[in-house]
Amino acid sequence: MQAIQLHQPASLADAAKLRSGNDDARFLAGGQSLLAAMKLGLNSATDLINLAALPDLAGIKVDGNRIVIGAMTRHADVAANADVKRLIPALAVLAGSIGDRQVRNVGTLGGSIANADPASDYPAAVVGLGATVRTNQREIAADAFFTGLYETALQNGEIITAVSFPVPEKAGYVKFKAPASRFALVGVFVSKGTGGVRVAVTGAAGSVFRAAGVEAALAGNWSAAAAKAVKLSADNLNSDLHATAEYRAHLIPVLASRAVTAAG
């Protein structure tokens, strides 16, 4: 790996300052995507700002009808958390399906959504539940957070502190895994709650997106059959060596129907 300057700030303000004005600096959360990318020469960061020592960024709290998960909370801890399993079991299932066990022991919620890999799992939950991303500067609605391929609404020096998930009436997540990488070839998160029906799709396009056609079908009739009957266009979906756009378009309603079944 390239030589780096490693910064170990003790406060959010110091961390933000280190990033401001340095385009070659990156925040280090768990590092499970970042370090791998640097080793492959896909990321040329010269400075890493380790967020591990910052206080209060890890942990899971129930706050009224929401679960607030700190940005540095590891996937394994979300998957095993009793409150998450009780209130949003689909979120626990999703966190427990990321990567492999060793990756889940280190990787974090904030790191995952800041990286915004188009095939990662957490964006599906953030958008599929209509969560709110909290940063050191503001609150960002899920629908405004993911803006493109590895792109988010985060500004230079902006640090995710937590994600606040509303507890839904029902939710389910099912992904079709690429066998080698375990990333989602397509993953679909469905939920029904006070904000209505949401259907978020990961792995199928440049960024997570809401499948409006499936949402409309499920709003009228929350059933696996209603989701499965939807026909989606393959326009703007990914085609690669793993699957064509048409195949992905076919998978979305199929996985949505399975997610509805999983939601119970």
Partner 1 sequence: MTVNVTMKVNGQSVTAAIAASTLLVDFIREHLRLTGTHVGCNTAQCGACTVHVNGRAVKSCNLLAAQANGAEVTTIEGLAAADGTMHPMQAAFKEHHGLQCGFCTPGMVMSACELKGKLPNATDEQIREALDGNMCRCTGYQNIVKAVKAGLAA
Using CB under 8 A, list all residues that contact partner 1.
Answer: 1-6, 8, 28, 31-32, 35-36, 39-40, 48, 50, 52, 76, 99-103, 105-106, 182
Query: DSSP label at 235?
Result: T
Burial class (CB in 10 A: 0-12, 13-18, 19+), 27: buried
Residue 25 is inside which H or E element, if any?
Answer: strand 25-28
At its nearest, how many Å lie between partner 1 and the CB of residue 173?
A: 17
Q: How many residues does the chain have?
A: 264
Cα separation, 208 vs 204, whole angstroms: 8
Complex with partner 1: residue 102 or 236, whichever CB lies closer: 102
Complex with partner 1: residue 100 or 235, whichever CB lies closer: 100
At its nearest, how many Å lie between partner 1 and the CB of residue 93?
A: 13
Complex with partner 1: residue 77 or 215, whichever CB lies closer: 77
* b/e 163-191 (16+ beta carbons within 10 angstroms → b): bbbbbbebbbbbbbebeeeebbbbbbbbb
Complex with partner 1: residue 102 or 155, whichever CB lies closer: 102
At its nearest, how many Å lie between partner 1 and the CB of residue 166?
A: 30
Complex with partner 1: residue 103 or 219, whichever CB lies closer: 103
CA dihedral defined by 223, 227, 228, 232, rounded to 10 degrees? 170
Complex with partner 1: residue 1 or 141, whichever CB lies closer: 1
N-terminal to C-terminal alpha carbon distance within the chain: 47
At its nearest, how many Å lie between partner 1 and the CB of residue 33?
A: 9
User: CB of 135 within 8 A of CB of 141?
Assistant: no
Cα separation, 264 vs 259, whole angstroms: 9
Residue 153 is inside which H or E element, if any?
Answer: none
At its nearest, how many Å lie between partner 1 and the CB of residue 104?
A: 9
At its nearest, how many Å lie between partner 1 and the CB of residue 26?
A: 13
CA dihedral defined by 20, 162, 92, 220, rounded to 10 degrees? -100
Complex with partner 1: residue 77 or 158, whichever CB lies closer: 77
At its nearest, how many Å lie between partner 1 and the CB of residue 92?
A: 15
